[in-house]
Amino acid sequence: MNTTASSSGPLAGTRFHRNSAGVLCCEGRPLTEIAQAFGTPCYVYSERTLLQAYQQFAAAAAEKNALICYALKANSNLALIALLAAQGAGFDIVSVGELQRVLAAGGQPDRIVFSGVGKADSEIAAAIAANIKCINIESEAELHRVAEVAAGLKRVAPISMRVNPDIDAKTHPYISTGLKENKFGIPMDQAEAVYRQAKAMPSVLIAGIDCHIGSQITSLSPFLQAVDRVLALADRLAATGIEIQHLDLGGGLGICYDDETPPTPAALLSAVFDRLQQWQQTRRSPRPEILFEFGRAIVGNAGVLLTRVDLLKPGPHKNFAIIDAAMNDLMRPALYEAWHAVVAVTPSGVPEATWDLVGPVCESGDWMARDRRLALSAGDLLAVLSAGAYGMSMSSNYNSRPRAAEVLIDAQGQAHLIRRREEFADLIAAESIPDYLRK
């Protein structure tokens, strides 16, 4: 087939290509056919693109006593979890709902780590009962809570402390998590004291140290700074007789949305393993297992959001194109002013103009892209790129909009519906009108 691959930008290295007629395809399947079959807005994921991204991490971690976890909150569709579980991935979860998703999709409990600043007692109990690998503790108060819940179940909970290394990940403030003003983790200078408390508790077992400094990080140095601080803590703990079994270095590797050039998975992991190698030479204890928790870098560029131009509203100040995908479908622009590339699926004959692409939701914050040079007509099909991560998983029913369909394209170009479009009945399924309000 005569297809053209992009050499840079969000589609580089993916299975999304234009065919000889200029139509954007996934595995050779024109996205026009997907829109026809499943409607819009619609998330389309490429199985091979997802697996290639995961396998880059897995290959870089091979023979290193390391576990690549997938951070479920980036995209928690069961089919995607099942694909990764079949590869032997671990999973980073932040709620009992995510635990249930991993188990429902066939993931192994002993490869699950549980992160998050506010875990409910019932969530902690469910995690312990499921025999997950580790609970990442984010505060002294949470340590006591986990110890109590475990004691109540007559169990010993494996734990690590998520430390806050106070490092600027140089990313958007809302996705920066490793600065001391962020709510996440235990401050470095308190970590030893909390570990000492944990050591005295019979219902917890100290398994590791955990950190996660932010998301969409596009340079190596914040990761390496965090590694150094975690290793220094491991040394201080070892000096007080606390040996840890694993180091969880979190996720956060960025992707290309526009023209960013983040380190490749291989470059990041080899830089980290080099540091660890040097450090290991200075100590006698066994080498700890290394965990990572990547979300965006695994799924981000494996998905696009298909949307149709509903109508055009040109004006003297701004040209608006109203599209059928809105902030409830893809929240990142409204939430972080995130930039997504938007491309026409089919080449257009009309002249280019500068457009703001906006959704139908009643909020001025409901925009997808601003000031884009595009050749648009009503009815055109567009693809919002890099929409695989924090797209569907952040979607809502705001404005009583049913959530979009999700479609997986396999390596042969076959399309599989992996989440049907919601209907009105789904919107009201959990609601009821009390009898006294009924006539």
The interface region with ligand PLP, picked from 30-38, 276-284, 291-299, 326-334 by CB under 6 A, is 291-299
Angle between the N-to-C axes of helices 221-239 and 265-281, in degrees from 0 to 180, rounded to the nearest 10: 30
Q: Judged by CB under 6 A, does residue 294 bind ligand PLP? A: yes
Is the previous residue joined to 222 through a cis bond, with omega within 30 degrees of 0? no
CB of 250 to ligand PLP, least distance (A): 5
**CA proximity to 52, closest of 89, 19, 15:** 15
Indicate whether 301 belongs to the interface with ligand PLP (CB under 6 A).
Answer: no
Size of the site for ligand PLP (CB under 6 A): 17
Exposed (0-12), middle (13-18) or buried (19+): which is 354, by Cβ within 10 Å? exposed
- Considering only residues 360 through 389, tell me which ones interact with ligand PLP, judged by CB under 6 A: 389
Give the long-range contacts of residues 280-288, CB within 8 A, separation 24 or more: 283/235, 283/238, 285/238, 285/243, 287/65, 288/65, 288/208, 288/234, 288/244, 288/245, 288/246, 288/247
Site for ligand PLP contains 332 (CB under 6 A): no
Nearer to ligand PLP, 14 or 176 (CB): 176
Residue from 10, 107, 185, 251 in contact with ligand PLP (CB under 6 A): 251
- Residue 223 in contact with ligand PLP, rule: CB under 6 A: no
Q: Which stretch binds ligand PLP (CB under 6 A): 14-22, 66-74, 238-246, 273-281?
A: 66-74
Can you name the residues that pair with 373 across neighbouring β-strands?
A: 354
Residue from 295, 303, 333, 359 touching ligand PLP (CB under 6 A): that is: 295
Report d(CA 90, CA 167) in Å as an integer. Answer: 26
Q: b or e along 253-269 (b: 16 or more beta carbons within 10 Å of the residue's beta carbon)?
A: bbbbbeeeebbebeebb
Q: Output 69 or 381, the one with its CB closest to ligand PLP.
A: 69
Per-residue contact string for residues 269-288; x = within reach of ligand PLP by CB under 6 A: --------------------
Contact status, residue 344 vs residue 384, Cβ threshold 8 Å: no
Which segments of 280-426 are extended strands (E)?
Answer: 289-294, 303-313, 320-323, 342-344, 353-358, 367-374, 381-384, 405-409, 415-419
- The residues that are catalytic are 362
Residue 315 to residues 15, 185, 323, 334, 355, Cα–Cα distance (Å):
38, 49, 16, 22, 10
Q: Interface with ligand PLP includes 250 (CB under 6 A)? A: yes
Q: Which of 133, 246, 296, 372 binds ligand PLP (CB under 6 A)?
A: 296
Tell me the CA distances in angstroms from 24 to 29, 253, 385, 386, one per residue in order.
8, 27, 11, 14
Instruction: Write down the least CB distance from residue 215 to ligand PLP, Å.
Output: 3
| DSSP β-bridge partners for residue 68 | 292
Q: Which of 67, 74, 384, 392 binds ligand PLP (CB under 6 A)?
A: 74
Q: Interface with ligand PLP includes 252 (CB under 6 A)?
A: yes
User: Using the rule CB under 6 A, is 43 a contact of ligand PLP?
Assistant: no
Distances (CA, A) of 418 to 43, 112, 208, 209: 10, 23, 36, 36
Least distance in angstroms from the C-beta of 370 to ligand PLP: 24
In the complex, what is the shortest distance from the CB of residue 72 to ligand PLP, in angstroms, rounded to a whole number? 9
Count Cβ atoms below 10 Å from residue 224 Cβ, excluding itself.
Answer: 16
> Which residue number, 249 or 407, has a Cβ lying nearer to ligand PLP?
249
**Minimum Å distance from CB 390 to ligand PLP?**
7
Using rule CB under 6 A, residue 293 touches ligand PLP:
yes
Exactly one of 73, 101, 308, 372 binds ligand PLP (CB under 6 A); that residue is: 73
We find the least distance from the C-beta atom of residue 254 to ligand PLP, in angstroms, to be 8
Torsion of CA 57, 60, 66, 68, to 10 degrees: 0
Closest approach, Cβ 286 to ligand PLP, in A, equals 25
Span near ligand PLP by CB under 6 A; candidates 142-150, 246-254, 267-275, 331-339: 246-254
Judged by CB under 6 A, does residue 185 bind ligand PLP?
Answer: no
* Minimum separation from the CB atom of position 235 to ligand PLP (A): 23
> If you ran DSSP here, which 8-state letter would residue 19 be given?
-
Cβ proximity to ligand PLP: between 212 and 372 the closer is 212
CA distances from residue 25 to 309, 361, 390, 411 in whole angstroms, order as listed: 19, 29, 22, 13
The answer to whether residue 115 forms part of the interface with ligand PLP (CB under 6 A) is yes
Q: Running DSSP on this structure, what letter comes out for residue 431?
A: -
Residue 71 binds ligand PLP (CB under 6 A): yes
Kindly list the residues in this chain that would bind ligand PLP in the complex (CB under 6 A).
Answer: 71, 73-74, 92, 115, 212, 215, 250-253, 293-297, 389
